[in-house]
Amino acid sequence: MIINTCSGNSYTYLQQTNEIVGGVAESDNFVWTFEPLKAFSDLPNVDTYIISITEQCNLRCTYCCYSGDYKNNRKHSTSLMSTKDIDEVFGYIQVHCKKDSLKVAFYGGEPLTNFSTLRYAILKARAIWGNAVEISVSTNGVLLTKDKVDWLVEQNVRLDISIDGGKYTHDSQRKDIIGNGSFEKIYAAISYINKKHPSFFKENVLLLMTLVSLSSLEQIAEEWHNDTILKNLPPTKISSILPNFAKGVPLVDYDEQVLRYIRLLDIYEVHRDWLVLKVFFDQCIAYWLNRPIIKVDGLVPMSTCLPKTNKLYIDSNKHISVCEKFCDKYPIGTINDGVDWEIANNIVKGYYGKRKDRCGTCPAIRMCNLCLTAVEYIDKEWDVLCHNERTYTKVCFRLFCEMAERGLIG
């Protein structure tokens, strides 16, 4: 993989060693060969349980994977867990978690729409595991009243709050059921936590942003920077939306993407204090900056989260899935019956078969984002996803080299 920077320099990526060399180097023509797949009947590393305490949600975000627009995924529903369900889930965790430490994350829907059960679950988790359990809640923030915030802070519960930029962008994407924007309520909650519990905010609040379109990033970054509170609160993570083949996923063009990313990089070079752009570009080059220089030789293990995963997802009907990103069509068990090892192994087998045939000569293999969740896609959809992964990998390689030349790293 070879790129040329704006200054006219060329760089080559060597996939066998993970090195970057100056100039146009001869391709290493390395082919990855994978170790044979082994069956498994244990998940020894699981220490995190993500519990969907409800499928109810008070928002209808434009990109939501539970909107009914995504194949193989559920729609919003009224399903929710009871205190009896929580008892059963915690009983399962007590039997199956083999780690000394434990993380329990409450998910939805919107967990705060089932606050009475959430409160029961948090208190019960503390009664069972004490301070050995780390508890978090993923929330859209709309229902984070001062009383709820104070109680969650008292219980040392980490808050993962979704906010998609300033008022204009956020409200255009994260609307309530009747179509009103949700920014003012979320902003009030963030402001209150930051003012009343500053130490807690610094250690236990994550601000999660979803970027629907790259074209909106400049406006988001400028809005964020011009806000007296947000300008000092970097988003923890900026995510893109899931591919939705029901609506079509276009093939991305390298040259077009480079023009868009370089334009944003030019803006960031002028506005180094725009936190949203800093986080965005740090994410783009994270792998390239921290990549291990290791020569691959011989058979290598297939990169898949099973059976090495450290987390499991439990939905409101007490079905078990690999993680919260997995579509609903692919549960691997239930709380009552445990993991169905045949189903789990077949999912991995399907994924292994796709990657074994596709990935041997791919230059993006080390940093590919196509994880086990891609098992739901058919061959034509994999063609699109693989093309786009290779393209974005090359774009991020280009960004890393551009940023290094401009002194924008570190």
Domain with 373 in it: 39-405
- Name the pLDDT band for 220 (thresholds 50, 70, 90): very high
pLDDT of residue 60: 95
Domain assignment present for 401: yes
Residue 298 is assigned to a structural domain of this protein:
yes
Single pTM value for the model: 0.93
Q: Is residue 6 part of a domain?
A: no
Q: What would the pLDDT profile of 238-261 be if each residue is shown by its tens digit?
A: 999 989 998 899 999 999 999 999
pLDDT tens digits along 282-327: 999 999 999 999 888 888 888 888 999 999 999 999 999 999 988 8
Neighbouring C-beta atoms of residue 322, cutoff 10 Å = 25
Length of the chain: 410
pLDDT digits (tens, 9 = 90+) for 203-219: 999 999 999 999 999 99
Average pLDDT, the chain: 94
The answer as to whether 21 is a domain residue is: no
| pLDDT at residue number 28 | 67
Average confidence (pLDDT) over 266-288: 97
Average pLDDT over every residue of 365-376 = 89
Provide the pLDDT for residue 73.
Answer: 82
Please report, as a single letter, which amino acid is at residue 110.
E
pLDDT at 65: 86
- Is residue 28 in some structural domain? no
In which order are the strands placed within the sheet that holds 19-22? 2-4, 10-14, 19-22
Q: Count how many domains the chain has.
A: 1
Whether the predicted pLDDT of 114 surpasses 90: yes
**Cβ neighbours for 315, distance < 8 A, ≥ 6 positions apart:** 52, 55, 321, 328, 331
Cis peptide before 301 (omega within 30 of 0): no
CATH code, domain carrying 134: 3.20.20.70
Confidence of residue 70 (pLDDT cuts 50, 70, 90): confident
Residue 232 — pLDDT band, cuts 50, 70, 90?
A: very high
The candidate with the shortest Cα–Cα distance to 181, out of 130, 236, 209, 142, is 142
For tokens 């009914």, name the residue: 68
Mean pLDDT to the nearest integer, 129-155: 97
Is residue 357 in a domain?
Answer: yes
Q: pLDDT class for 357, splitting at 50, 70, 90?
A: confident
Does a structural domain hold residue 246? yes
More confident residue, 178 or 67: 178
* Per-residue pLDDT at 27 exceeds 80: no
Residue 85 maps to a domain: yes
